[in-house]
């Protein structure tokens, strides 16, 4: 067979088409992206993946809609760049929507490209990453666009708990488009130019007469602090893409593979002289639980998730002797670490993610109970609090708990107690494990008796001290076997590492069922 010369018409045609596809909607539209502080779709991919590793698919796909003069708006690739790549040497599949082509709107062809790459990710059992920048459904495609979203949603659900799914919102994301990110594992939003909402400001104004901007309705800070939809907020595209790389560094390729080990620079037997001084003796005084976490984890590195949402509970990833671990911790610095609706949902979702991907859990406990009041009760604190209970009880990964100070009432049970199959429960000598605080208990138990004395307040103080001696300590729980060991706080790190090492091959025998019915 004769070999074709590189300057043959066929090769020239190929190079021309490749150049066309790479330009998306054209140089001027790419420049407009740059002027807005945004990268182009291909620039985002180049910034995210290992150099030279991206293999693109379906560059030459074209939409097949000729209604509304759409034959004049046909661009190679149809507004989404799809393919495979490597991140830190590990394979991934990904897609990046191209706003320069019809505003990144989703047509039938656009959706088919996304569905194809998601199917390939599932077959290969590797993570899938979405870089969203789209005006939503392509109106000219009508029902075909909606069908396309449905196909994406179904694949998101099928892949959930099998392969990690991460999405970055790097521009608009509106209407039905928002539900794909919502059912993925982690959402990163760019503060400078991203927003998400089901219904945009114009329709909101028409229907309920509320005048609101896109940023105030669904900007990054709204979803990072109020709704909890966004797990990470970045300053710009590049920081968002770096965040995705960092998330992946803690995650396995799929639910059958181990999370990536990283040789530690820290000693497993390291003790902390500082840790006990972080937690005040006065149980009414606040402190930052992240300082405790930093004293325990490898090299003090803690990768916090959803930092701005429900800050009365802290969640995130760390490494313990090189192995990725999920951390859940009450935060006494905010609302005294109380569990409310948002905190319960935030922690429950994280616990279920870690369980799905076999990432062990450490729980640091300092919780006075559930948030009281009509607002919480009427909005469903019972139902939402039960989500966290369900998540911990259902989880079969290694689960180790450290009770540092308060552990009161139902919140004590829910925060990975032994009663919910916590594998190892440690308590510090400062731990107070009881139905409630001593003052409240004394008032309930001895209110009538106090009225019969000459000094009711002194009588209650005496009974409060008596209750503290009996219950506001870890030893009554240890006597019953509910606490496995009361430890010196400075030994927390080596104790946790040993517990996790011995639990590494843990197995739980579960009854056969399709799935549990979590109180959604």
Tokens encoding 321: 């002797």
327: which DSSP letter?
Answer: E
CA atoms within 13 A on the CB side of 386: 8
Give dist(CA 63, CA 432) in Å, integer. Answer: 65
Classify the phi-psi angles of 373: left when phi > 0, otherwise alpha if psi is within -120 to 50, otherwise beta: left
User: Which one of 176, 228, 380, 440 is the catalytic residue?
Assistant: 176
For the chain, report the end-to-end CA distance as a whole number of angstroms: 65
Give dist(CA 485, CA 479) in Å, integer. Answer: 10
175 annotated active-site:
yes
The answer to whether 303 touches 250, Cβ cutoff 8 Å, is yes
Give dist(CA 504, CA 343) in Å, integer. Answer: 28
Give the closest residue to 332 by CA, choosing from 448, 251, 430, 422: 430
491: which DSSP letter?
Answer: G
| Three-class DSSP category at 512 | coil
**Locus of tokens 């994280």:** 350
| Three-class DSSP category at 106 | strand
Task: Give Rg (Cα) of the chain.
Answer: 27
Give dist(CA 412, CA 401) in Å, integer. Answer: 11
Give the closest residue to 356 by CA, choosing from 452, 259, 286: 259
CA distances for 461 relative to 288, 412, 431, 451, 456, angstroms: 29, 25, 20, 13, 9
The answer to whether 190 touches 234, Cβ cutoff 8 Å, is yes
268: which DSSP letter?
Answer: T
User: Which one of 25, 83, 103, 175 is the catalytic residue?
Assistant: 175
**Locus of tokens 């019915």:** 517
148 annotated active-site:
no
Q: Which residues contact 18 (CB under 8 A, 6 or more apart)?
A: 59
Burial (CB count within 10 angstroms: exposed 0-12, middle 13-18, buried 19+), residue 98: buried
Torsion over CA: 219, 220, 225, 227 (sign): positive
**Locus of tokens 């006075």:** 368
Please count the other Cβ atoms lying within 10 Å of the Cβ belonging to residue 466.
Answer: 15
Crossing angle (nearest 10°) for helices 143-159 and 108-124:
10
User: Which one of 407, 411, 441, 450 is the catalytic residue?
Assistant: 411
What residues act catalytically? 175-176, 410-411
């Amino acid at each position: 067979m004769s070999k074709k010369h590189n300057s043959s018409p066929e090769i020239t045609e190929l190079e021309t088409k490749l150049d066309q596809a790479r330009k998306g909607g054209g140089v001027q539209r790419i420049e407009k992206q740059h002027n807005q502080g945004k990268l182009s779709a291909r620039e985002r991919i180049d910034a995210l993946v290992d150099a030279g590793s991206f293999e693109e698919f379906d560059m030459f796909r074209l939409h097949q809609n000729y209604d509304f003069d759409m034959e004049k708006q046909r661009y190679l690739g149809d507004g989404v760049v799809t393919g495979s790549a490597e991140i830190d040497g590990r394979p991934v599949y990904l897609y990046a929507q191209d706003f320069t082509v019809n505003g990144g709107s989703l047509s039938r062809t656009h959706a088919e490209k996304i569905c194809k790459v998601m199917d390939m990710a599932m077959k290969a059992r590797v993570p899938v990453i979405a870089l969203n920048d789209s005006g939503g459904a392509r109106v000219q495609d009508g029902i075909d666009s909606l069908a396309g979203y449905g196909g994406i949603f179904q694949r998101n659900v099928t892949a959930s708990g099998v392969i990690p799914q991460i999405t970055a919102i790097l521009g608009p994301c509106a209407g039905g488009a928002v539900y794909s990110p919502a059912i993925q594992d982690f959402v990163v939003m760019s503060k400078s130019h991203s927003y998400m909402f089901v219904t945009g400001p114009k329709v909101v104004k028409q229907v309920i007469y509320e005048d609101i901007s896109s940023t105030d309705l669904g900007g990054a800070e709204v979803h990072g602090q109020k709704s909890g939809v966004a797990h990470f907020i970045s300053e710009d595209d590049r920081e968002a893409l770096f965040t995705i790389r960092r998330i992946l560094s803690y995650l396995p390729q799929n639910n059958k593979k181990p999370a990536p080990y990283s040789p530690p620079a820290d000693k497993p037997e390291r003790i902390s002289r500082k840790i006990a001084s972080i937690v005040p003796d006065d149980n009414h005084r606040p402190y930052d639980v992240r300082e405790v976490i930093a004293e325990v984890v490898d090299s003090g590195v803690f990768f916090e998730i959803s930092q701005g949402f429900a800050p009365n509970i802290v969640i995130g990833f760390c490494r313990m002797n090189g192995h990725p671990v999920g951390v859940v911790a009450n935060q006494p610095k905010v609302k005294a670490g109380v569990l409310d609706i948002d905190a319960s949902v935030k922690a429950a979702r994280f616990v279920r993610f870690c369980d799905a991907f076999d990432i062990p859990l450490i729980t640091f406990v300092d919780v006075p109970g559930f948030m009281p009041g009509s607002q919480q009760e009427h909005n469903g604190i019972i139902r939402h609090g039960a989500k966290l209970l369900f998540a911990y009880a259902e989880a079969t990964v290694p689960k180790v708990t450290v009770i540092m100070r308060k552990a009161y009432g139902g919140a004590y049970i829910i925060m990975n107690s032994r009663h919910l199959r916590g594998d190892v429960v440690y308590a510090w000598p400062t731990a107070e494990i009881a139905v409630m605080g001593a003052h409240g208990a004394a008032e309930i138990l001895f209110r009538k008796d106090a009225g019969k004395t000459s000094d009711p307040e002194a009588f209650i103080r005496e009974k409060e001290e008596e209750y503290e001696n009996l219950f506001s300590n870890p030893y009554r729980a240890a006597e019953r076997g509910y606490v496995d060991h009361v430890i010196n706080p400075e030994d927390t790190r080596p104790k946790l590492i040993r517990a996790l090492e011995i639990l590494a091959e843990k197995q739980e025998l579960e009854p056969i069922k399709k799935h549990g019915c979590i109180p959604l």
